[in-house]
Structure formats: C-alpha cells, structure tokens
Structure 1
Amino acid sequence: MVPLFLSEPNWDDEEGDNEASSQIVSLLSKLGSVIWSLMVSGGRSEARLWLCNAVSRLSSISPHHKRDIFMKMLTSKPTRKGLASQLLQLVFEKRPRKVGSILANKSYLLEKFFQGNPKRIMQWFSNFGDGGGLEHKKGAKALSQFAFVNRDICWEELEWKGKHGQSPAMVATKPHYFLDLDVQRTVENFLENVPEFWSSPEFAESLKDGEILFMDTKFFVELFIDLMYKEDLDDIWEVISEFLKEESFSSLCHHLLIILEESEFRIFLELLLRYISPRIEHKDFGNSSYLLEFILCKCGDPGSFDTLLMLNAIINQRRQLLRLVNDEECQDENEQVKDIVSQMCKTSTNTYTLASILKECAKAKPIEAIKLLGLYSWVIYYRLSKECQTPGSWEALFLSNGISFHESDKYSMLNNKGPLDENDSAGDDRASSRCRKKKKRRKKTRHFDHDELLDFDASGRRLGLQSGGGSWLLSIDDFSTSWTNVSPLPYLFFGMFELLNAVKSCCDFDFEIIQVLSFSEECS
C-alpha cells in the first residue's frame, strides 16, 4: 500500500537507510528523464502552454507591477510588434471606445481605409433610416449631417439613383430620400473632391464607439502599431498603460504569453522576478502559484528554460502528465515509468528512508532538490491513481496510514461497537424523520463530534465499516471536508510535507518551499 509519511520519525534513533535513499534518488532522476522525453516528443508547445497557465495564476503581482512588466516588454528593443499586435486586439475587444476616441482625433487617416474598397464603403455608409422611426447610423449619419451643414460645398457631390437629384429642402422634410442615394459613387466623390469631410466633427463622431475597428481588425492593428512606434503617440500609449493596469494578470498572460518566442518569454520571467516576494503560510497551501513563485525567487535563474518547463510540469501539471504517460501512443515510456515505480516500491520507503532522501536532496542544488521531491510527490500521485480505484482500496489506504475516517454521506454514525442493530436502525429512522421536519423550519450546518467518528488504530484493525460509500471525512483535516474516490485526495500528502519542516534543522536547504508541492490545483 502507498506510504503517505504522516508521522515524523525519531531523528535521534535512526540515521536512515542511505543505500535505499541513494537508489531512490537515482530512480527519480531516471524517471525525470523519461518524463522529459515524453513532454518534448510532440514538440514543446504544450509544455510551454502549461507554464503560461501556471504563471497566469501568480497572485502577488500588483496592478502597477503587471503594467510595468508588459510596458517594458513593449518599449524595449528590438520592437516586439507581435506582442503589440496581440495586445491591441485585446484592447479593441475590451475597450473599443477608448481606441475609438483616439481614432476620432485622427479621422483623416481613414481616407485610405475606404479608397478603392467599395465593400467597406457600403458597409459603413449605407445605413440610412427609412423614416419610420429608424435613424441614420454609422457613416450614413455622418454623411447626411455633413451634407446638410456644408451643402454649399458638397451637395453637388451627392449622386442619386433616380433620373434627377434631390434638393436639400426636400430631403430635410423627407430624410428617407437618402435611401435613393448612390452611396458608393457619393463616397468616391467625397474621397476625391471633399477632403474636409474626413477631418470633420460629423465623421469623427461616427468613429468614437470603436465599432469600425471590427470591420478590418488587421488594418487597424497595423495603423495603431504605426501610431505607437513611428509617431510615438502619447494617447495610445496612455490607453495601453491604463488597460494593462486594469486588466487581470491572468487574462493578460493567457492572451499575450502564448505568442512570445522562447527568448522573449525568458525576458518576461526575468522582469517578473523583480516584483514577486512570496511568503509561504499554512493558509496558502491550496494555491499552487506559491510554489512557482518560490522556484523563481529562491532558485533564481533555473539555468535553462528546459528546467523550468520540467519543474512546472511535475509540480503543477500532475494530471496532464499522468494522461501523457497513459497515452496509447507512449507505451514504451509507460512501461519504463511502471518499471521505475515498481523498483521504488520494492525499496524501503519508511519514514527514515524519507529523511535520508531529504538529506540527499539537500546536497544538490536547490533547483535539483525541488525537482527530485516534485518527482517523488508525483510517484505517490501515480501510485494512488493505479492502486486506489475503489472505495475499498481507499479505505485500505486510510487504514495502512493510520487515518481515522467516516463515510460522510451517512446520517448514522459508525462506531467501534460494530454495525447498528435493528433497534438502532429504527431509532435512526425516527431521528431522520425528526431531522426532515426540522429542516423545514431552518437550515443548519451539521458539525461532527470527534468522539462520534470512527477511530482506527495504526495496526489496521477494521471496525464494521459499511462499504461502497466512496465519500469520507478524514482526521487529517479535522473531518472538515468531504473527499471522494473520484479523484486523488490532495490532503493525503499533507503529513509528508509537514514533515519537511522538521528536516530544516537537519539540512541547510530551506524545505519550506516543498510544503506546497502536494497542493497543486491539478490534484483536486
């Protein structure tokens, strides 16, 4: 059965099994090589995506800091137009009016947008109302308003579909006559003969809502990149700066990091290092981002991007790695993993061996120690996925590790007196009936008393447990949460990593950072 290392060894009585621990460390290194070959067998893109997702969950980045990081990426040389392009598309989508206001101030630039493009002309300028309550919209509204205000210089440029034109007075009383306007020819005339229209307040007003950005996003992205890097326009940089401050760090990472080259991603991580200062506390165990922060802070530059990809995968992507190992196309690697884990199972894995392993890790560089312990944690995860697939196997795991538990979906309390007799069952039925009546009056959270719960001793004595429940309350978290056999239980690793605090006094390496290894969101 899988050992969970829930009790702390007596360090004074035992020196540990050095031979076994050395063998396990060697097997862990071999396992790391197999996992890495699996990760890169189909390219590095998926591993990079995993790292992007992990970075996006970092919680200690302030609004000012995230803005500074991305602004430095945008303004440093060489120019990263790919990053700027991706960011502009995000700004268009989420802040179109901000960008539309800038475009309105530069409305004359849109002459070339419509020149020689009848499709764009019709899409923007043909939205005239029919007089039945529907008003002119978009460019049609701008065109009609400008034509009336400046009729002395442009009315003759209006082209009509009928045999004769319409006078300003007639169209003023019957606005739906604009439906007879030949929009394409009229706008082409304005492009050639009425330059005042393209910088007019009427045309600028039609651009302010930013709707025109979505007619051809590529065109406007290129336009604003020129405004950013050729004209160095303060207005667009201010909008970008404000957006980077307001948008969540998670959203920015998901949209922007995926398009960075590997060298650019490393620059991003170097900038990120300046602004993170994690503090590990018990309340932070459920947040997998803290371990990544510690890897970046405590270990500094991992030496290679490959190392960081590997560390993130074994610590934050356990479930994905398990799927990768079990893939039918990876049978050779699957067999290698099985063989390595099997050899580790045959090696002594008592708490003294664990202490020796930790001391072996302390001899290595911090980044290597984290990798070895992360692999060791993943081996436990792997074994649980293989060996604990039924309620009975989970209960056997609890027993072998001295965990008290109770089936959380039962009204009746199991106790060390054995199964309930018929009278007890009847009494329980009456109690359940009373509970249902009380439930109508008020809803109350049920609190279990520790003395009422099953208590199993470390020898594995089983006491009248009803099988098939598949949902338990466990003593390792004071029976506060209901765990199921649907997925591995992350808190089962709790004791192993609480133990690492005690090791601090024996080793130079700061093992506090390993406490969160087992609390990855991927385990939940």
Structure 2
Amino acid sequence: MIQLFLREEAKRKEDVREEDSERTKGMICLLKQLESVIWSLITRSEARLWLYNTISCITSITPYQKRELFASLLRTTSKKGLASQLWQLIFQKRPHEAGTLLAERSYVLEKFFQGNQTRILQWFSNFSSTGSRHKKGAKALSRFAFVNRNICWEELEWKGKHGQSPAVVATKPHYFLELDILRTVENFLENVPDFWTSREFADSLRDGDIFSVETKFFVDFFVGLMCEEGSRDVWEVINEFLMEESFSVLCQHLLITLEERDFCTFLESLCKYLNRRTEPNDFRDSSCLLEFVLSKFSGYESIDQLLLLNAVIYRGRQLLKLLHDEESQEEQAKVNDIVSHICSISSSTSSFVPVLNECLKMKTTGGVMILGLQSWAFHYALSEKCQSAEAWESLFYK
C-alpha cells in the first residue's frame, strides 16, 4: 500500500464521489485517534531510541559523509555531552590512538597522580617476579630508575630495613615487589620532574590502559583539547575515527546524547546525503523506506510524524507487545474499537483509492504516516484474528 502511494503513477486523477469523501474523512479521523492511543503507549524518549536504531541501519552513507555529519555536530553543538560520549567510544574502540595523543602530553599526569593514592596504586603496583613482565607504570618506573640511577635511585623507597642497589636489583628484578609504591611515587612527584616527561613514562601510556584508572578525567581532558584549544592532532584522530568506525556504531552511541533540536539538525544534514530518488525500489532493505522519507524531511515540525512512522513500520511487533501488557487494558480496548471501525470502512475494494488520493495532497512524511497507521491497524487486526497456523491458512482460502 505504501509502495503504491510512493509511485508516480499513483498520482492519477480519480473521480471522487461524495460518499468516498465522507468515508475518507472518517478513516483519517480514526487513524488520528489511533495515533493518539499509540503515543499513550510509548514515551517520546523510547520513540527516539527506536528511530536512532533504524537510522543506524542505513548503509548508503560513505566514510566521508559520516565524518562530515558528526564532525559538524561536534563543532556546532554547544553542550559537551556529544564530545564526551565520542571520547568514551574512542577509548573503547581505539584506545591506542588516544593513548598516543596522551603520551605526547604525558606531563599532565603529574597533577593526575598528585595526592591521589588510589590512582598511584592502580597504575604503579604492577611489578612482577621477572623484570620483563612489569606492566603499566611499574614498567616505566623500573626502566627510568635504571637508566637514570645516578639522579633518582635514592628516591626509591623500600619496605625492608635497607635499600637495594641497582646491581642487585638488575639480577633480581623481583626485588621491585618490595618497593613502597606510594612513598616512591610521591618522591618522584616532588623531586624527579623529568620522569613525567620521559620516554619511559610516555611509552607506558600509548596502549590506552591508563584510561581505565579514571575515565572521566581523561574524557574531560580530551574534550578540553578538542573544544577549547582546537588541537590539530586531536581533531585528526577524531576525523579518522569517524571515517573508520561503522555508521551503525556511531549512531547507536552518539545520537542518544543529542537534544531534540540538535537531532533534527542531524536529520537535516543526513537528508543531503541520501539519494533523492522518486520512490524506494528495494523493500528488502529495511532502511529503504526510511531513507526515502528522510530525503523529504522538512525539519523540526515533522519530527513527531517521523517518530510515529518509524514506530508503526519498524516496531509494529513491539507496539503489539506493549498493547497486550496487563497495564494497557484500557488502551487495548480503544484500539480494538478503532481498528474494528477501520476494517469496516476498508471492507470495500474501492476504499483504498480515496485514501491514497487524500494522502497525495499531504507532505510525503504525513502521507506515509497515514498509510503506515492503516497498515499497522491491519497488522493488529490480523494478529488478533489469526492466532494459529490454521487460522492463517483459512485466511488465504477465502
């Protein structure tokens, strides 16, 4: 039915009788009532989440277009929620790229560890009985201490009664397990500033494991570099990430942070990259119809129609489940009554043409929404009538 509406040849001039006109007005009135009941079943945030998931299925967006879509949002969105979510996603998907950026600015970690015993122990308490297996900050500390033993070995604090010499520890690396981590790192913070800018310490940051110590600190740090300083190398990592990561992942993780007006801005930008074909030509592609409707998206005023259209077309079964919930008995009764009247009006074989002609007078989103509601009404009626294999078989015998 929707496909017929979208075909240019459906734009035919039919003689519309007065009886058909009244029937059509009644049908659209019923569909508007159905729309109201559906909105009472779902929250707006839930409807938006469903739309995000559907949009994430679009496959026609190129890597360049992906980058432009999200980079433009990052540059224009005043709130930092989107940028924060992006960096959390980068930490999860490409930690080494962010780690490399941090390694070039390793000096900021001096303040990060200052006065925070939990952070110190989490990063530097990773010594092993064999030197080759020291990890994270422990590996950096041991390597720096050996290379620069003339200036910093005395800053190492040991738990035993006496200290250990470099020569002894070199042959028995497990002695580092006896190091008093807190006192040693505090000494380095106070007396060994070169450690925090050293190659050894920077190398320990490159794999991005440091972000797990306290993610928020590093998210705020990179958001600052990105939004306030506009660091070129930071934006290069962002642009590369946006091009390489799948459109699906970006949509599912980033769109949830947007205010509705910013989301509409995203949709308007997305429309520019969609193929403005006259009709969807592949209904096997789940996002094909949505792409067509989005290409006609007219901005903020049509977002309600788009949310509802997505719900009835792509989330029809979930709507049915919500309707059959014990708490939705009142809504189910309303839907039963409305759908009964819709099916009664639709019993005539000629009842579709007047509705199609009326939809043609509307904007694309509004017209498709009316037909989507009617399709869902039929879906509901069939699901109620045909609850067994035999019932479905009898339907096709008639």
Q: TM-score, length-normalised on structure 1?
A: 0.70
The answer to whether the Cα contact below 8 Å between 1:61 and 1:275 also exists between their aligned partners in 2 is: yes
Match of 2:152 in 1: 154
- Correspondence 1:105-504 to 2 at 5 A: 105-131=104-130, 135-279=133-277, 284-301=282-299, 303-347=301-345, 349-400=347-398
| Aligned match of 2:89 | 90
Give the residue type in structure 1 aligned to 2:101.
I
- Contact 1:276–1:293 under 8 Å retained in 2: yes
Change in Cα spacing, 1:123 to 1:179, as seen in structure 2 (3 Å) is same
**CA displacement 1:437-479 (0-9 Å, x = unmatched):** xxxxxxxxxxxxxxxxxxxxxxxxxxxxxxxxxxxxxxxxxxx
* Inter-CA distance 365–268: structure 2 relative to 1 (3 Å threshold): closer
Q: Is the 1:108–1:198 Cα contact (8 Å) retained in structure 2?
A: yes
Opposite residue 60 of structure 1, the aligned amino acid is S
DSSP-derived class of the 2:269 partner: helix
- Match of 1:274, SS state, is helix
Q: How far off is 1:135 after superposition?
A: 2.3
1:20–1:347: 8 Å Cα contact kept in structure 2?
Answer: no
Counterpart CA distance in 2 for 1:19 and 1:362 is: 19
1:484-515 CA-to-partner distances (Å, cap 9, x unmatched) read: xxxxxxxxxxxxxxxxxxxxxxxxxxxxxxxx
Are the equivalent residues in 2 in contact too, given 1:31–1:337 (CA < 8 A)? no
Q: Deviations over 1:383-404 (max 9, x none)?
A: 110111222221222122xxxx
Q: Is the 8 A contact 1:213 1:220 kept in 2?
A: yes
Matched residue SS, 1:129: coil
- Would the aligned equivalents of 1:325 and 1:333 in 2 still touch at CA under 8 Å? yes
Shift in Å, 1:326: 2.5
**SS of 1:207's equivalent?**
coil
CA displacement at 1:366 relative to structure 2: 3.0
C-alpha distance in 1, partners of 2:353/2:30? 21
Deviation at 1:141, TM superposition (A): 1.2
Q: Assess, with a 3 A threshold, how the Cα gap between structure 1 residues 243 and 106 changes in structure 2: closer, same or farther.
A: same
Q: Given residue 149 of structure 1, which amino acid in structure 2 is its aligned partner?
A: V
Partner secondary structure for residue 54 of structure 1 = helix
Amino acid at match of 1:48: R
The SS at the match of 1:57 is coil
Bigger Rg, structure 1 or 2: 1
Identity %: 56
Which structure shows the bigger proportion of residues in helix conformation? 2
Show CA shifts across 1:50-69 (max 9, x none): 11111111222111101101
1:15, 1:352 within 8 Å by CA — same for their partners in 2? no
Shift of 1:115: 0.7
User: Residues of 2 paired with 1:254 and 1:352: CA distance?
Assistant: 43
Contact kept? 2:346, 2:352, Cα under 8 Å: no
Deviation at 1:282, TM superposition (A): 7.9
1:30 aligns with 2:45: no
Over residues 229-256 of structure 1, what are the superposed CA-to-partner deviations in whole Å (9 max), with x where a residue is unaligned?
2222112211111111111111111111
C-alpha separation between the residues in 2 aligned to 1:259 and 1:31?
32
Count of residues paired in the alignment: 388
In structure 1, the partner of 2:8 is: none
Partner amino acid, structure 1, of 2:33: S
How many Å separate the matches in 1 of 2:29 and 2:214?
52
What residue in structure 2 maps to residue 71 of structure 1?
71
Decide whether the 8 Å contact of 1:22 with 1:360 is kept in 2. Answer: no
Change (3 A) 1:37 1:259: farther
Deviation at 1:215, TM superposition (A): 1.2
| 1:19 to 1:329, Cα distance in 2 relative to 1, 3 A | farther
1:50, 1:312 within 8 Å by CA — same for their partners in 2?
A: yes
Distance change (3 Å), C-alpha of 1:275 and 1:385: same
Classify 1:67/1:35 alpha carbon distance in 2 versus 1 (closer, same or farther; 3 Å): same
1:28–1:376 Cα contact (<8 Å) kept: no
Structure 2: segments with no counterpart, 5+ residues: 5-11
How has the CA–CA distance of structure 1 residues 251 and 278 changed in structure 2, closer, same or farther, with 3 Å as cutoff? farther
Distance 1:214 1:108 in 2: 18
Native 8 Å contact 2:66 2:243 kept in 1: yes
Flag the 1:84–1:70 CA change in 2: closer, same or farther, 3 A: same
- TM-score under structure 2 length normalisation: 0.91
Counterpart for residue 81 of structure 1: 80
Hey, what's the Cα distance between the residues in 2 that align with 1:376 and 1:18?
A: 22
CA deviations on 1:288-322 (whole Å, 9 max, x unpaired) are 31211221223533624222212222222211222
